[in-house]
């Protein structure tokens, strides 16, 4: 038996929503899991980029293709949760989501592997259980929640380990322009620059702006959204890791129709959220800033993906 699951990319934080907000985007990874019939073959993991001509093979060479893979670890946890050990498995990953760009590539393969394995096992785990396992593998639910659910998701891992999550409707009128530079930034490095403690006024600042953001999305309030997309917990510290980030954010501060510009997850990709604005102008502005620093960029204007991971028939 073979099961394939298509999983969307995700962008986390959305400014002030550090480690608790995420959006699904229509870029996809497809994970296929097949139980092989040859005993003793163990796990086989194949990585298949959608366009091999534009992928840095060194990146793929550094991704584990055995029991150390995060996909296999997630699948093993699911099997163990029902008292089983994984059988011989072949896992194929067709990758469209750029790696180490702040677009949830690891969350997508974890979620895809879990849902495919769950189907192979006869669906013993419900949505909540799958989200819990995925969060344990990823460390926090901000990417895995929208990867499973689709749309715009608020999530939190509580002190007892349980996951609280709610899906909200993102306004159709708000476009998201995703700007993906041609350099990597690992999540570990991006987290290493964050302080262990922050000033009380910065924590209060983010709490206020997170409340504004949730209200703005819920009420389709573009004026409030322009105020909401500010952050003092992670973006100021990560700015030094992303050349051109400050210049891009400054370029859109006073543009009518641009609701805000934020780092996508841990970066280095950036999001420009706009409302009835010249999308070509956004693209040319970002290209000009990064081009001046010899950085190439792939720019896509997207709507939020309303559906999460889907089993392909």
pLDDT band (50, 70, 90) for residue 52: very low
pLDDT of residue 46: 85
pLDDT of residue 50: 61
pTM for the predicted model, two decimal places: 0.91
pLDDT at 76 over 50: yes
What backbone torsions phi and psi does residue 210 show, to the nearest 5 degrees? -65, -40
Kindly report the number of other CB atoms within 10 A of residue 127's CB atom: 12
Kindly report the number of other CB atoms within 10 A of residue 2's CB atom: 12
- Structure-model confidence comparison of residues 154 and 1, the more confident one: 154
pLDDT of residue 35: 84
pLDDT of residue 36: 79
Q: What sign for the dihedral angle of Cα 14, 19, 24, 28?
A: positive
Domains of the chain: 2-168+304-312 (3.30.230.10), 174-302 (3.30.70.890)
Cis peptide preceding 268, ω within 30 of 0: yes
pLDDT at 63 over 70: no
- Average of pLDDT values for 12-16? 97
- Average of pLDDT values for 248-264? 95
pLDDT of residue 47: 82
The span from the CA of 200 to the CA of 22, in Å, is: 24
- In tens, the pLDDT along 180-236 reads 999 999 989 999 999 999 999 999 999 999 999 999 999 999 999 999 999 999 999
- In tens, the pLDDT along 153-196 reads 999 999 988 999 999 999 999 999 999 999 999 989 999 999 99
pLDDT at 96 over 60: yes
Helices (H), 164-244: 187-192, 200-219, 222-228, 235-238
pLDDT at 61 over 50: no
The chain-wide mean pLDDT, for the chain, equals: 91
pLDDT at 98 over 70: yes
Given a contact cutoff of 8 angstroms between Cβ atoms, the answer to whether 28 and 96 are in contact is yes
């Amino acid at each position: 038996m073979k099961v394939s699951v298509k999983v969307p990319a995700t962008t986390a934080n959305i400014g002030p929503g550090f480690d608790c907000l995420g959006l699904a985007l229509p870029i996809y990874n497809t994970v296929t899991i097949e139980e092989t019939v040859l005993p003793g073959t163990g796990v086989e993991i194949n990585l298949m980029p959608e366009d091999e001509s534009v992928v840095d093979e060194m990146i793929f060479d550094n991704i584990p293709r055995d029991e150390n893979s995060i996909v296999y670890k997630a699948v093993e946890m699911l099997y163990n949760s029902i008292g089983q050990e994984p059988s011989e498995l072949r896992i194929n990953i067709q990758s469209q989501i750029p790696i180490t760009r702040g677009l949830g590539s690891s969350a997508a393969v974890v979620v895809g592997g879990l849902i495919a394995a769950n189907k192979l096992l006869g669906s013993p785990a419900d949505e909540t259980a799958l989200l819990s396992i995925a969060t344990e593998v990823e460390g926090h639910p901000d990417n895995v929640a929208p990867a499973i659910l689709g749309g715009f998701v608020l999530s939190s891992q509580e002190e007892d380990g349980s996951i609280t999550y709610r899906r909200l409707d993102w306004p159709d009128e708000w476009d998201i322009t995703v700007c993906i530079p041609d350099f990597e930034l690992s999540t570990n490095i991006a987290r290493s620059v964050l302080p262990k403690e922050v000033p009380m006024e910065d924590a209060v600042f983010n709490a206020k702006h997170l409340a504004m953001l949730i209200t703005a999305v819920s009420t389709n309030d573009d004026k409030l959204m322009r105020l909401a997309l500010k952050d003092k917990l992670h973006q100021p510290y990560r700015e030094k890791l992303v050349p051109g980030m400050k210049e891009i954010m400054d370029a859109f501060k006073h543009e009518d129709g641009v609701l805000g510009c934020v780092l996508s997850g841990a970066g280095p990709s950036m999001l420009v959220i706009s409302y009835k604005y010249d999308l070509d102008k956004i693209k040319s502005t970002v290209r000009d800033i990064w081009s001046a620093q010899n950085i190439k960029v792939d720019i896509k204007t997207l709507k939020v993906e309303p559906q999460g991971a889907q089993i392909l028939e």
